Amino acid sequence: DQQVKQNSPSLSVQEGRISILNCDYTNSMFDYFLWYKKYPAEGPTFLISISSIKDKNEDGRFTVFLNKSAKHLSLHIVPSQPGDSAVYFCAASQGGSEKLVFGKGMKLTVNP
Protein backbone atom coordinates (compact mmCIF):
# COMPACT_ATOMS: atom_id res chain seq x y z
CA ASP A 1 0.00 0.00 0.00
CA GLN A 2 1.90 3.01 -1.33
CA GLN A 3 1.24 6.03 0.87
CA VAL A 4 3.39 8.28 -1.34
CA LYS A 5 2.95 7.94 -5.08
CA GLN A 6 4.97 9.26 -7.97
CA ASN A 7 2.92 8.04 -10.89
CA SER A 8 5.20 9.13 -13.72
CA PRO A 9 8.40 7.10 -13.90
CA SER A 10 10.23 9.58 -16.12
CA LEU A 11 10.23 13.09 -17.56
CA SER A 12 12.31 14.62 -20.32
CA VAL A 13 12.60 18.41 -20.79
CA GLN A 14 14.76 20.85 -22.72
CA GLU A 15 17.40 22.91 -21.00
CA GLY A 16 16.00 26.26 -19.89
CA ARG A 17 12.40 25.07 -19.71
CA ILE A 18 10.38 24.27 -16.60
CA SER A 19 10.37 20.78 -15.07
CA ILE A 20 7.31 19.85 -13.02
CA LEU A 21 7.49 16.73 -10.87
CA ASN A 22 4.32 15.51 -9.18
CA CYS A 23 3.62 13.53 -6.03
CA ASP A 24 0.41 12.33 -4.39
CA TYR A 25 -0.09 10.99 -0.90
CA THR A 26 -2.87 9.11 0.85
CA ASN A 27 -2.07 9.56 4.55
CA SER A 28 -3.78 12.72 5.84
CA MET A 29 -1.57 12.62 8.93
CA PHE A 30 1.52 13.58 6.92
CA ASP A 31 2.57 17.08 7.90
CA TYR A 32 6.06 17.48 6.44
CA PHE A 33 7.16 16.84 2.88
CA LEU A 34 10.57 16.69 1.25
CA TRP A 35 12.14 16.28 -2.17
CA TYR A 36 15.41 14.44 -2.66
CA LYS A 37 17.61 14.13 -5.71
CA LYS A 38 19.69 11.01 -6.37
CA TYR A 39 22.57 10.43 -8.75
CA PRO A 40 23.69 6.87 -9.57
CA ALA A 41 25.86 5.22 -6.89
CA GLU A 42 25.21 8.07 -4.45
CA GLY A 43 22.79 8.50 -1.59
CA PRO A 44 19.77 10.81 -1.91
CA THR A 45 20.55 14.50 -1.47
CA PHE A 46 18.05 16.81 0.23
CA LEU A 47 16.63 19.49 -2.08
CA ILE A 48 13.73 21.30 -0.48
CA SER A 49 10.97 20.75 2.06
CA ILE A 50 7.59 22.14 3.04
CA SER A 51 5.51 22.02 6.19
CA SER A 52 1.77 21.42 5.95
CA ILE A 53 1.12 24.91 7.35
CA LYS A 54 2.43 26.38 4.11
CA ASP A 55 1.38 25.96 0.51
CA LYS A 56 4.59 27.09 -1.16
CA ASN A 57 8.30 27.12 -0.45
CA GLU A 58 10.93 28.51 -2.77
CA ASP A 59 14.71 28.08 -2.85
CA GLY A 60 16.48 29.44 -5.88
CA ARG A 61 15.41 27.53 -8.97
CA PHE A 62 13.34 25.07 -6.89
CA THR A 63 9.78 25.66 -5.70
CA VAL A 64 7.56 23.16 -3.95
CA PHE A 65 3.78 23.58 -3.94
CA LEU A 66 1.48 21.77 -1.52
CA ASN A 67 -2.26 21.27 -2.06
CA LYS A 68 -3.52 19.65 1.12
CA SER A 69 -7.11 19.24 -0.01
CA ALA A 70 -5.94 17.29 -3.05
CA LYS A 71 -3.14 15.54 -1.10
CA HIS A 72 -0.79 16.61 -3.88
CA LEU A 73 2.57 18.29 -4.06
CA SER A 74 4.77 19.30 -6.93
CA LEU A 75 8.34 20.39 -7.46
CA HIS A 76 9.04 23.05 -10.07
CA ILE A 77 12.55 23.54 -11.42
CA VAL A 78 13.06 26.74 -13.41
CA PRO A 79 15.13 26.98 -15.50
CA SER A 80 16.07 23.31 -15.89
CA GLN A 81 19.75 22.53 -16.38
CA PRO A 82 21.47 19.35 -17.65
CA GLY A 83 22.98 18.86 -14.17
CA ASP A 84 19.45 18.46 -12.82
CA SER A 85 19.23 15.10 -14.60
CA ALA A 86 18.75 12.58 -11.78
CA VAL A 87 16.11 10.51 -10.01
CA TYR A 88 13.86 12.61 -7.79
CA PHE A 89 12.10 11.21 -4.74
CA CYS A 90 9.17 12.69 -2.89
CA ALA A 91 9.03 11.84 0.84
CA ALA A 92 6.69 12.55 3.74
CA SER A 93 6.58 12.23 7.50
CA GLN A 94 3.95 12.66 10.18
CA GLY A 95 4.10 14.35 13.53
CA GLY A 96 5.45 12.13 16.28
CA SER A 97 7.55 10.12 13.85
CA GLU A 98 10.76 11.08 12.15
CA LYS A 99 10.76 8.25 9.64
CA LEU A 100 10.36 9.22 6.01
CA VAL A 101 7.98 7.47 3.61
CA PHE A 102 9.29 7.68 0.05
CA GLY A 103 7.72 7.45 -3.36
CA LYS A 104 9.24 5.20 -6.03
CA GLY A 105 11.06 8.07 -7.68
CA MET A 106 10.98 9.73 -11.08
CA LYS A 107 13.86 10.01 -13.52
CA LEU A 108 14.32 13.52 -14.90
CA THR A 109 16.39 14.05 -18.04
CA VAL A 110 17.27 17.59 -19.06
CA ASN A 111 18.49 17.71 -22.65
CA PRO A 112 21.02 20.36 -23.71
Partner 1 sequence: GAGVSQSPRYKVAKRGQDVALRCDPISGHVSLFWYQQALGQGPEFLTYFQNEAQLDKSGLPSDRFFAERPEGSVSTLKIQRTQQEDSAVYLCASSRVRGEQYFGPGTRLTVT
Interatomic CA distance for residues 53 and 41, integer angstroms: 35
In the complex, least distance from residue 69 CB atom to partner 1, rounded to whole angstroms? 24
44: preceding bond cis by omega (within 30 degrees): no
8 binds partner 1 (CB under 8 A): no
Q: Which is nearer to partner 1, 69 or 99 (CB)?
A: 99
Q: Which is nearer to partner 1, 77 or 87 (CB)?
A: 87
Cα of 9 vs its chain's centroid, Å: 13
Interface residue list for partner 1 (CB under 8 A): 4, 32, 34, 36, 41-46, 49, 89, 91, 93, 97-105
